[in-house]
Structures are given as structure tokens and as C-alpha cells.
Chains A and B, each alone.
Chain A
Amino acid sequence: MRDASFGEIARLGARSDEADETFVMDEETFRVFYDRTARALWAYLSRTTGDARLADDLLQETYYRFLRAAATHDSDAHRRHYLFRIATNLVHDHRRHLRPDRVQMSEALEPVDRRPQADVDAGTARRVDLARAMARLKPRERALLWLAYADGASHEEIAAALGLKRSSIKLLLFRARRRLAALLRRSCPGSPGEDRHGR
């Protein structure tokens, strides 16, 4: 988003009643919808991009595009899928324009846990392992796994959010899951999921 100068803002004098005409929903409806979806969306953006600051920017951009889109929604669920679809497309666009020298998976690893120190250390180590393993997956695999197991979305919901065929979700999810499980086992060999062959 291009930053508007104070002069521009003063000249524009943003009035909410005019904004309501521009956007697909009024401010009150937006507040309710935002409070329901923003944290889950930020978590999704943060973990699929591996960059918390980028997730901040993409969150604002996602809601802006959502508000400007001339789309009608049958239900709250449909509205939510549409929002995640916009977010997914923005992440893809960002990856396409990403410079190769940009360092990712940095801020996402900062601990914000408030549990006792030993638990925090173990939790942080697990999070670092997971972040590293996630970074080695394809963006679509990250999105699939996050929606399925962190958000608890059904195959229909995942298909709607990612713009994929419902019939292909099972196989894609299986492949992504197998890859992540193998990477996690490799990063912590003593984990309970590891079999005696180390697979």
C-alpha cells in the first residue's frame, strides 16, 4: 500500500458514509467479520510466508481487496473462504516478485511464549524445527497443511480457500503430510511418530 501524505489525508477527509458506498460492507459488519477472522488469517499468513512483518502488510492488503471486491457472499463461511482465497493469491503474488536475497523465516521464530522456561525452551525448539521443516515445503503444501490441521478446515473448505478441486485435496494433503512428517522426524529423531527404520 502506498502511504498517503498528511496533506492528502486532510484533503480527502475520509468520511465513513462515503466509504460505505465504496466497500462491500458497512463499518459495523466489517468490525464483526474482522474480529472473527483477523487472528486466524494473520496466523495463516505468518506461517505460510514465514515472515511476521510481511503477514502484517498482507493482512491489511487482504482486507482492502476484500472490501473493494464486487462479490456477493451467500454465508459467513463463504465470505471467510473468499478472504482466505485473496490471502493465498497475495502470498503467491508476493513469492513471484520476491527477490532471491531476501531472508525469510526470521521473525516467525521469535519466542512469545509465557510458560515456564523449560517448557518455553522445548516449545521454541519444536517451533524452530517446524518452521525449518515448513520452509522446505512448497507454498501450496504449507497452506494445505495449515488449513487442514491448524485451522481444522474440511476438504471442501480447503478447496474453496485455495481454489483447488475438492477431489484433488486428499492426494495433495497426503503428499504434503508425508513430506512434513518425514522432515519433522529427520529434525527430531526421537519423536514418537518415528518407526524403527527411522521413517
Chain B
Amino acid sequence: MDVERPPRTSWGARRWSMANAPAIDCDREPLVAAAIASGTWTDGSDRELIAHAAGCPVCRDVAAVATALRDDSASARQEARERVPAAGIVWWRATVRARAEASRTADRPISVAQGVAGACAVGLACGVAGAAWQSLEWLRRAGSIITALEPSRRDIAAASAVILDHAFPLVLGLGACLLIAPLALYLVLSDD
């Protein structure tokens, strides 16, 4: 069987492919589409156009695709009539959503400020606790020096030791208050 093959040279191959490429459009393609859209295609009133489409690959494809899609379009629009909500509902939903988004956007800087304030409070509490711990160490050293200095002042040393024993839980309590207070404030204010 004789089969036409493309030439081997690149120039020849290009000429061959251009000559044998399928046509991508036809002058009568819009007429076929218009006939299908207007309904004259199905009643067969334009026989000449139908005969042309039977022989033209482009118009034949247009006829097949446009007929199927036109039918489906009518069906889809019928379906849409039952499913598409009223304009008022779509407007109302959009309004509610826009306002909710605006509200969230407005709340964002406040949340950031609250977060920063919380972080500052925790940092401050840690700083105070550290400073209190250092002062405790210093007092302990001072107490031992006093004890070593003079037996007559032992009563002072004993007194300072008593203070030291009671001061530690006091400092811890103060630190805990500093930590809890911002959290409690945040929880109370966040309800508003």
C-alpha cells in the first residue's frame, strides 16, 4: 500500500506538514454555530449548510459539539432556575461575611497588643524573681559575716536569719502574683 511519507530534509518536512496539516477553521463554521443556536439546524431548513457540514471535518465537529452543548445548556439553565438563590440572599450573605471579616481585621492589632503585653509581664516577673534571688544570696552572706564578727551581736544575726527564712516564701508569693495578675486581667478583659 502506498503511504505518503514526509521528506527527510527539514525544509521539505516543514512544507509537507504545512500542506498536510488539518484545517483548523472553516468560513462557514460561524453559520453552522448560528444555525444550531437559532434552532434552524435541527429542523433541517438549511439543507445546503447541512450538506456542507457532512463533508467538512471542521463544520462536522462544530455541529456535533455545538448541538450537544446547546441541549445541555438548556438543561443546565433549567436546573439553575431551581438552584440559584435570590439576589437578596446572596447580597445579605456577602454583607454579613464582609462585616465579619472587617471585625476580625479590626481585632487583629488588639490581639497582638495583648500578646505583647502578656510577654512583657512574664519577662518582668522573671526579672523581679531573679533580682529577689540575688538579694537573698547577698543577705545570707551578710548574715554569715555578722555571725563571724562578734558574739555579742548574735541576736542580730539570729533575727536576720529568721527574716531570711520568712522572706523566701514572701518573694515567691510576690513573683507568683506578678505572673498571675496579667493573665487574670487578660481573661477578665477578653470577654468584652
Interface residues in chain A, defined as those with a beta carbon under 8 Å from any beta carbon in chain B: 1-2, 4, 8-9, 12, 14, 16, 18-19, 22-23, 27, 30-31, 34-35, 38-40, 42-43, 46-47, 52, 55-56, 59-60, 63-64, 67-68, 112-114, 123, 126-127, 129-130, 145-146, 148-152, 170-171, 174, 177-178, 180-181, 184-185, 191-193, 195
Contacts and interface: CB of A to CB of B under 8 A. Distances in A.
B82 interface: yes
Interface in B76-105: 76-85, 87-88, 90-100, 102-103
Range of interface residues on B (Cβ < 8 Å): 35 or more
A119 B60 CA distance: 24
Contacts, number: 156
Interface of B: 24-25, 33, 36-37, 58, 60-66, 68-73, 75-85, 87-88, 90-100, 102-103
A152 B70 CA distance: 9
B75 A113 contact: yes
Nearest to B30: A154
Contacts of B81: 39
A18 B68 CA distance: 46
20 contacts: A16-B91, A16-B95, A30-B87, A38-B84, A46-B80, A60-B85, A60-B94, A64-B94, A112-B82, A126-B71, A130-B68, A146-B73, A148-B33, A149-B65, A149-B70, A152-B33, A180-B64, A181-B65, A191-B64, A195-B60
